[in-house]
Amino acid sequence: MEKYFPALSAEFARTLAALKGRRLAVVGHARPDGDCIGSQVSLARVLRALGHEVICVNTDPVPRRLEYLVGDLSFVRPHEVPATEDWVSLWVDCADAGRAGDKARERFPKPFANIDHHLSNNGYAEHNFIDAGAAAAAEILAGIFADNKLPVDALAAKALFAGIMTDTGQFRFNSTTHRTFLLSAELVALGASPSEAGGEIYERESLGKLQLLQRFLASLTLDCGGLVCTGSLPDGIFQETGTSVEDTEGLVDYARAIDGVEIGVLIEERSGAIKASLRCKNPIYRVDQVAAQFGGGGHACAAGLNLKNIPVAEFRPKLLGALAAQIANVSKTAKSAS
Amino acid sequence: MEKYFPALSAEFARTLAALKGRRLAVVGHARPDGDCIGSQVSLARVLRALGHEVICVNTDPVPRRLEYLVGDLSFVRPHEVPATEDWVSLWVDCADAGRAGDKARERFPKPFANIDHHLSNNGYAEHNFIDAGAAAAAEILAGIFADNKLPVDALAAKALFAGIMTDTGQFRFNSTTHRTFLLSAELVALGASPSEAGGEIYERESLGKLQLLQRFLASLTLDCGGLVCTGSLPDGIFQETGTSVEDTEGLVDYARAIDGVEIGVLIEERSGAIKASLRCKNPIYRVDQVAAQFGGGGHACAAGLNLKNIPVAEFRPKLLGALAAQIANVSKTAKSAS
C-alpha cells in the first residue's frame, strides 16, 4: 500500500530507534485544543506500547470536553517534572517552542522532535516532522503510525480522530483532503467513534456559554455596506454569565457566517483594555494586515489585536475605517487585475 | 476491490438495463434537505451521462444554500410535468411515497425505484434500494456508483458529498461509519470540495436567522433538575426577524447541546397553534413516546407535535410534566435493570 507520509515516516522510524530505552515527555501548547491533546494522547500511547515510560506536559490543564481522551496517561505541568530527571521531549502542534509556554521551554530547552502542521513552523527541534499540507498534527501522526504499522489502540485512535475533527472544523476547512478522509476511515476501523467525539466535544456546552453567544448575537451590526459584521462583548460579561475568556472561542465565526459578509469581527472590552478578533472567508482580505495597523497580527483569514487605554467608542470607528480601506484596496486590485 | 453495497449494486445494474431509452424523473421529498437534493443531482447526472433524458421533481424549491449543486439540471414541480408525457420515476430519500407530497404522488403513482436509508421505509416501489445502515441516501448512491463504475462527474461528487455531510451533522451522527469516510475520500478524489460545501451550506446564514437564534437562546430555561432545556419562540417572531418556519431548523440542538442536559425542547407559538420539537442525546428517553401523548410522533431521539387551541402557558407545564414522568420512568427501569 502507498504510504501517507513516506519521508516523514522513514525518518520517524529512525528517530524511534535512537530513542530506545529513554523516558519521553510529550509536550503540547498552552491553552491546548483538540489537535494538541489528541496528538499528545496518541503519541504517548503508541510510545508507551513500544515500552517507553511517557508523560504528557502542558502549561494549562486538559479542557473538560477533551478529558474523555486522557485515560490512564499522566498529564503534568512543566514544574511538576523534577529538574533532576532525564526526559527526552517530543513536541506536538507547536509552531514554535514559545507556544508551549515559558515554563515548558525552561524545563525542556532542547526539543528532540517537533511534529506539526503549521506553515510558520521554523523547525526548532533536532528532528522535525512538519507537513503544512496536513489538516492537523494528528493527521501527520495518524499517517506515520499507519505507514510504520505502529500499535494504535482504540483510545489512541479516538484521540487522533478528535484532533482531525476539531482542526478541520468537522471536516470542512480548506485543509480537509482525500488523505484526511482515508485516515479517518482507518481510525474508525481502529475504534474511533464519530458520535462519541461529537457528543463529548460539541454537546457539552455550558448554559453560560450560550448566554455569551446570545449577548454576542444581540450586538451584531452590519458595517461597510454589509461586507463586515461586528459583534461585541462588554466589560463584566464573564462574571455576569459565569464564563471565562476561553468561552469566546467560536463566537466570531457566527458573524462571519452570514451570507454576503466577508469579514466577521468580535470586539471584547476587558477592564479598560480591548481585544479584537477578525475572521474573513477569503484570504484576499488579509485581515492580518488590518490587525497589524493596531499592533496585532495573525493569518490572512484569522487575526487579532490587543489595545490598552482606548475606549470602545473610539476604537470601533477606527477599526471599521481600516477595514473599509482594506476592502476598497482589495476591490481596486481585483479590478485592475481583471 | 470489495463492493460497498454488493446486493444493491447488482440489482441497480439490472434495473438500469431495464430502463434503457426511457425518460426518467428523479423525485425528492417536500422541504428538500442536503441529502435529498444531493441524491437527486447525483443520480440525475449519472443517468444523463448514460444517455437518459432526466428531470428532477420536487414539491418545494431547492433551498438557497443548495443551489450551487443544481448546475444545468432542471428541477420542476410535479404539476409542471404534463400528464401526457411518459416518465419513469425514481424516488430518493423518501421513507414513504407521501413524503414527496400529494401532487408528486398523483403525477407519479407508480414509483419504479426507491433509494433510501430510513429504517421505516416500506419498500413502496417496484425496485427498492434500502439500507438503513447507511448514513444518507447519498451514501447508498455513492457506493452503488462506485461498485458499478458509473460516471460520476465533479458536480455529482459535490452533490453526494453534500448529502453525506448534512445527513451526518458533519460526520458526527451515530450513522457515520468507516464506509462513510471511505466513500467521502473517493468523492473528494472525484472533485468534491469540503471547504466549498462548508462555505455554501454553513456560511450563508441570514442576519434574521441569527436574530432568531438569539431570541431562542435568550428564552432558554433548565427544567426537570437540569435534564431538560426548553426554549421558545413567540408568535410574530418570523415577521419581526424577517425569517420563516425553515429558519427554526437546528435551534433545538443548541438546547440539547448543554452539558448535563438530556432533552432539548423548542416550543413555537404560531397564531394560536403550538409546534414543539423534542431532541434527546440518548435514545433511552424515547421522546417519540412523549410526543405521542400530545398526538405527535417521530423517532426515539427526535420527535415533534402540533396542537391547536391551547395557550403556551397551559401547554408548557403539561409537556414538562410528561417529560418529568418519562425521565422518572427511564431511571426506574435503569435502576431495576442494574
- What is the CB neighbour count within 10 angstroms for residue B172? 21
Q: For residue B268, tell me if it sits in a domain.
A: yes
B45-67 pLDDT per residue, tens: 999 999 999 999 999 999 999 99
A136-191 residue pLDDT tens:
999 999 999 999 999 999 999 999 999 999 999 999 988 999 999 999 999 999 99
Tell me A239's DSSP state: H
Of B194, B211, B222, the CB nearest to A171: B194
Task: State the complex-level ipTM.
Answer: 0.91
Tell me the CATH number at A66.
3.90.1640.10
Query: Do A277 and A296 form a contact (C-beta atoms < 8 A)?
Result: no
Considering the domain architecture, whether residues B176 and B96 belong to the same structural domain is answered as yes
Classify strands A302-307 and A273-280 as parallel, antiparallel or unpaired.
antiparallel
Contact between A188 and A165 (Cβ < 8 Å): no
Alpha-carbon distance B276 to B232, whole Å?
Answer: 9
Residues A106 and A221 in one domain: no
Domain CATH for B250? 3.10.310.30
- Whether B184 has its CB under 8 Å from any CB of chain A: the answer is yes
pLDDT band at B333 (very low <50, low <70, confident <90, very high): confident
B-chain residues within 8 Å CB-CB of A259?
203-206
- Choose the mutation target among B203, B213, B247 for the interface with A, i.e. most A CBs under 10 Å: B203
Is A215 contained in some domain? yes
Task: Select from A180, A202, A224 the last residue of a domain.
Answer: A202
Confidence of residue A271 (pLDDT cuts 50, 70, 90): confident
CB contact under 8 A, B181 and A178: no
Say whether both B177 and B224 belong to one domain.
no
In a domain, A46, yes or no: yes
Which one of B167, B202, B237 terminates a domain?
B202
Inter-chain touch A207–B229, beta carbons under 8 Å: yes
What are the φ and ψ backbone dihedral angles of A276, each rounded to 5 degrees? -125, 140
Question: Confidence class of residue B98 from pLDDT cuts 50, 70 and 90?
Answer: very high
Residue B95 and residue B229 share a domain: no
- Residue B282 in contact with partner chain A when CB distance is under 8 A: no
Task: Tell me how far CA of residue A160 lies from CA of A30, A140, A215, A221, B178, in angstroms.
Answer: 19, 10, 34, 39, 15
For B224, the enclosing helix (H) or strand (E) is: none
Per the structure, the complete domain to which residue B286 belongs is given by 209-337
Nearest to A172 among B197, B206, B220 (CB): B197
- The answer to whether residue B204 neighbours chain A at the CB level (below 8 Å) is yes
List CB contacts (< 8 A) between A188 and chain B: 176-178, 181
Is the minimum CB–CB distance between B197 and chain A shorter than 8 Å? yes
Q: Are residues B82 and B189 in the same domain?
A: yes
Residue of B204, B207, B209, B279 to mutate for A, most A C-beta atoms under 10 A: B207
pLDDT digits (tens, 9 = 90+) for A225-258: 999 999 999 999 999 999 988 889 889 999 999 9
A142 and A14 within one domain: yes
Q: Are residues B133 and B181 in the same domain?
A: yes
A202 to B257: CB separation less than 8 angstroms, yes or no: yes
**Residue B78 DSSP symbol:** G
Strand partners of residue A269: A274
Quick check: is A1 in a domain? no
For residue A292, tell me if it sits in a domain: yes
**Domain final residue, candidates A171, A202, A233:** A202
pLDDT of A238: 95
Q: Which of B327, B138, B311 is nearest to B229 (CA)?
A: B327
Closest residue in B to A187 (Cα–Cα):
B178
At residue B297, does pLDDT exceed 90? no
Q: Are residues B228 and B114 in the same domain?
A: no
Could you report the per-residue pLDDT of A5-17, keeping only the tens digit for each?
999 999 999 999 9
Counting the structural domains of chain A, the total is 2
Sequence-separated (6 or more) residues with CB below 8 Å from residue B72: none
Same domain, A152 and A276: no
Domain presence at residue B1:
no
- Shared domain for A193 and A243, answered yes or no, is no
- Estimate the crossing angle of helix B34-49 against helix B154-167, to 10 degrees: 160
Q: Residue B98 falls within a domain, yes or no?
A: yes
**DSSP annotation string for B235-298:** TTHHHHHT--GGGGTTHHHHHHTBTT--EEEEEEEETTEEEEEEEESSGGG-HHHHHHTTT-EE
B241, B183: one domain? no
Is the same domain home to A109 and A188?
yes
Percent residues over pLDDT 70 in chain A? 100
- Condensed to tens digits (0 to 9), the pLDDT of residues B268-283 reads 998 889 999 999 999 8
DSSP state letter for A62: P
In-domain check, residue B51: yes
CA distance to A19, A215, A315, B53, B162, per residue, from B78 (Å):
69, 44, 56, 17, 24
